[in-house]
Structure 1
Amino acid sequence: MLLRPGYVLSILMVTLTGCTAVANTKPITSQLIPNPEGQQQLKSSKHRLMRQLNLNQVQRQQLQAIKLEYEESIIDLRQELSQAKQKLGDLMVGTADRETIHTQYQQVQLLNQQLGKLHLESMLQMREVMTPEQRIQFAQFMRQRRQQNPLSD
């Protein structure tokens, strides 16, 4: 099975940056509204990173398997977290008592923690696939990306 370089990069970027996304509670307009130019830039940066990392076929297949292993759980947990945050927001503007709001807040925190753990586990597995040099290159790429787009943190 041959994987497209951009797809493997997506796996890495989503998984390895997921922990920072979990902490972000503010929606970012640029992520919610598709931007064709931005999508083209993202594709270009993905291809550049794929060339820099120089992943071999076995690594690509292993990363794909890791992505598939965690994908459904992460999607489900994100949905559950989103619903819990919405409910918390509704409680805050409604007439709920303090205890109910505290309980819902704790639920949001628990889901955030579970999502963070899932991301960490997938990152650790992906880390094992990459060489030390590839890890350094990937970290440098992500650092540059965060500097160019500080709102993504």
Structure 2
Amino acid sequence: MPIIQWQCLLFLAAISIFIANSRFGLAVSPLSFSPNNQHSSTAKSIIVNNDVTKAKQQPQSLIQQLNLTDEQRQKIKQIHYRYKQQILKKKNNLAVLQQQLSDMMIGTESVELIRTKNQELVILRQEIGALRFESMLATREILTPQQRQKFKKILESRLSR
């Protein structure tokens, strides 16, 4: 994935996380979007144990700084709740598939069956990633262009400290 696309993705992820955690609690963590699960230092500095610690230390919440309307807050809350439920269902299925694959690896199943099970895991991980991405896009659509720019400045300010 080109650097610009990756930076945009991180920006959208940060928006989702900051807004979700500023008031509503954790919705989804977009870290799984990083290529080869190598998380960027930017994302690591924002997210610690699925918690936005820097946002909580700020005197003014991100929601206040972005001047979100009540309608925007409500829509974001609904988006995150809806996607969180879908992702949790898939994550539960993922855990079951991972255990099955683990059991197959130490068992006597054929290589072909093991490969098939692994492919099921790959597809499910892609589905989870797609849901996370759609959640970020839906959240992005709620913010005005000015709010997106303001968020970018807030994020840059917090990361430079």
Same structural fold, with TM-score higher than 0.5 when normalized by the shorter chain: yes
Residue of structure 2 equivalent to 1:7: 23
Residues 45 and 108 of structure 1, relative CA distance in 2, 3 Å threshold: farther
Residues 61 and 39 of structure 1, relative CA distance in 2, 3 Å threshold: closer
Residue of structure 2 equivalent to 1:134: 147
Tell me which of the two structures has the higher relative contact order, counting C-alpha pairs closer than 8 angstroms and 6 or more residues apart. Answer: 1
CA distance in 1, matches of 2:23, 2:61: 13
Q: Which 5+ residue runs of structure 1 have no aligned equivalent?
A: 32-37, 149-153
Which residue identity does 1:110 align to in structure 2? Answer: I
TM-score for both structures, normalised by structure 1: 0.63
Residue of structure 2 equivalent to 1:92: 105
Residue of structure 2 equivalent to 1:108: 121
CA distance in 2, matches of 1:19, 1:137: 25
Which residue identity does 1:65 align to in structure 2? Answer: Q
Please say if 1:74 is aligned against 2:87.
yes
Native 8 Å contact 1:53 1:137 kept in 2: yes
Please say if 1:44 is aligned against 2:56.
yes
Please say if 1:118 is aligned against 2:131.
yes
Residue of structure 2 equivalent to 1:62: 75
Backbone CA RMSD of aligned residues: 3.7
Native 8 Å contact 1:6 1:43 kept in 2: yes
Which residue identity does 1:99 align to in structure 2? Answer: E
Which residue identity does 1:10 align to in structure 2? Answer: L
TM-score for both structures, normalised by structure 2: 0.61
- Larger helix proportion of the pair: 1
Which residue identity does 2:66 align to in structure 1? Answer: L
Post-superposition offset of 1:39: 6.2
Residue of structure 2 equivalent to 1:53: 66
